[in-house]
Structure 1
Amino acid sequence: MKNSRTLRYFGGLLILVFASVAHAAPKSDLWPFWNSSDEANTSQISHTNWQTLLDTYLVQDGEYTLFQYRNVSDASRKKLQNYIDTLSKLDPRTYSKAEQYAYWVNLYNAATVEIILEDYPVKSITKLGGLFSFGPWDQDVVSIAGKKLTLNDIEHRILRPIWQDPRTHYVVNCASLGCPNLLPQALTSANTEVSLESAAKAFINSEKGVSLKGKKLQLSSIYDWFAVDFGQSEQEILRHIQKYRTGGQLTDWSGKIKYDYDWSLNERR
């Protein structure tokens, strides 16, 4: 009995160690293959099918947008898969950078929903991805231009290093309550700037983004995990936040900051 308890104890520790390593925030690491475009190409990529799914299954609940995973019909699931497949058959490098940005963000979000649906019901995306994985972010999800890509590739090797815009964190969604909301509108080259600004403002003025109560300041863990994207110091991060915050000055904050994140699934219960 004692040996059994010991094995369970060390087995649990091993899992925690692997989960901790897996959860270490990836660095922005450019994949040069994807860093090209054809700015002369004025054609647009259709995201109509993704918008239809958002209109059908995404609902507003307070400061959250929640996806109704349990209600997704077989026909809608097929439409989602066809949408992802259609995007995968394109070479985004042949489009303008503006079209590419919307392409990658929508693909990331659509692929994340598909990953959840593959294993639904699930309480958290962190439960997916294998025994020693903290989530499915290093799984191959799509093949484009002969290259297999993971969600981490899309976010950390393409979106972050190529565009170097901290607001990207506000529009890619990891199917969790603590994450910036899944956008109700599919991103397009025409609405990207408005969507980025709106998403930044919504997240920063939500309790899950920034919570200031008296002398206690709590920020989303994205400002800890990806601090380098928001500034070179704590004060620069706070200045970024203050740009979008509608109440309570933070730029002269000198107290301790607590970070938190809710990994519960972003579903309508």
Structure 2
Amino acid sequence: MKNIIIIITFLTTSLGFSQNTATFFSKSDAFFKKYVSNGKVDYATIKKDPASLDQLLTIAADIQVTTSDPKTYQAFYINAYNLAVIKGVVNNYPTKSPLDVKGFFDKITYTLGGKKTTLNDLENKLLRKVYPEEPRFHFVLVCAGLGCPPIIAEAYQPVTLEKQLQRQATIALNNPNFIKVKGKKVQLSQIFEWYKGDFTQNGSEVEYINQFRKEKIPTDAKVSYYPYNWSLNSI
């Protein structure tokens, strides 16, 4: 009887976590569809009624994800990061830039996945450190600045994550405003300067970018970096 009770408790707990995770992805998808348009966020409207955002972050606080299910783990923390960024902006809205908010990335904490974390730690310790071979995170984690690849009007989902990562990387790296090519000169986002090691694990930055490019960049192109635009990605 004791063993039966333990099994029932385990199954009930597992089912609860599964339901919470499914609810999180579903509600996140609805939230992004409602408040995101053309890569920008309607912070003003969310500020007037933050209930749905707060509900999502409450759900995210108790969800348990593990690296034994990498797609669920990654999709959860990508969405959680983007939602926490929106929360940080909304709490300080109106603001012209996330950098105008003291400690926006490295001091303000959010409880996500059962642990307190800053945005920097979520990106660098919970995602990049755990999956160092995945540079495409940089095209889906949106820092609220216009210099970042645009936020999308949908949630990242475990079953579609690979396609979504590939799609967003392809969009970013073919965008002439993100990768600026002129002959044998190419200007890259400072993302490539700050996280160079992520993109040069198996070759040069240009070789990495060319995996996604329709029009290839000359491999001997002179590489430089243009200044990051931290202006708020607000509708």
Which TM-score applies when normalising by structure 1?
Answer: 0.74
Q: CA deviation at 1:226?
A: 0.1
Paired residues for 1:90-129 under 5 Å: 90-93=63-66, 96-129=69-102
Q: CA deviation at 1:206?
A: 1.3
Q: Deviations over 1:104-130 (max 9, x none)?
A: 00000000001100011111111112x
For 2:54, the equivalent position in structure 1 comes to 81
Q: Secondary structure at the match of 2:129?
A: helix
For 2:180, the equivalent position in structure 1 comes to 211
Residues 1:99 and 1:141: Cα distance change in structure 2 (over 3 Å) = same
Q: CA deviation at 1:145?
A: 6.4
Q: CA deviation at 1:153?
A: 1.1
Q: CA deviation at 1:93?
A: 2.7
Structure 2 counterpart of 1:67, from 38, 41, 50: 41
Q: Deviations over 1:7-54 (max 9, x none)?
A: xxxxxxxxxxxxxxxxxxxxxxxxxxxxxxxxx999472222222221
Structure 1 counterpart of 2:171, from 202, 208, 211: 202
Q: Secondary structure at the match of 1:219?
A: strand
For 2:34, the equivalent position in structure 1 comes to 56
Task: State the one-letter code of the partner of 2:224.
Answer: I
Q: CA deviation at 1:73?
A: 5.9
Q: CA deviation at 1:208?
A: 3.5
For 1:246, the equivalent position in structure 2 comes to 214
| Paired residues of 1:239 and 1:250 also in contact (CA < 8 A) | no
| Paired residues of 2:47 and 2:93 also in contact (CA < 8 A) | no
Which whole-Å CA distance do the structure 1 matches of 2:153 and 2:44 have between them? 18
- For structure 1, the 5+ residue unaligned runs are 1-39
Residues 1:240 and 1:180: Cα distance change in structure 2 (over 3 Å) = same
Q: Secondary structure at the match of 1:251?
A: coil
Task: State the one-letter code of the partner of 2:79.
Answer: N
For 2:190, the equivalent position in structure 1 comes to 221
Residues 1:243 and 1:84: Cα distance change in structure 2 (over 3 Å) = same
**Is residue 153 of structure 2 the alignment partner of residue 184 of structure 1?**
yes
The alignment covers a number of residue pairs equal to: 217
Q: Secondary structure at the match of 1:163?
A: coil
**CA RMSD in angstroms, aligned pairs only:** 2.3
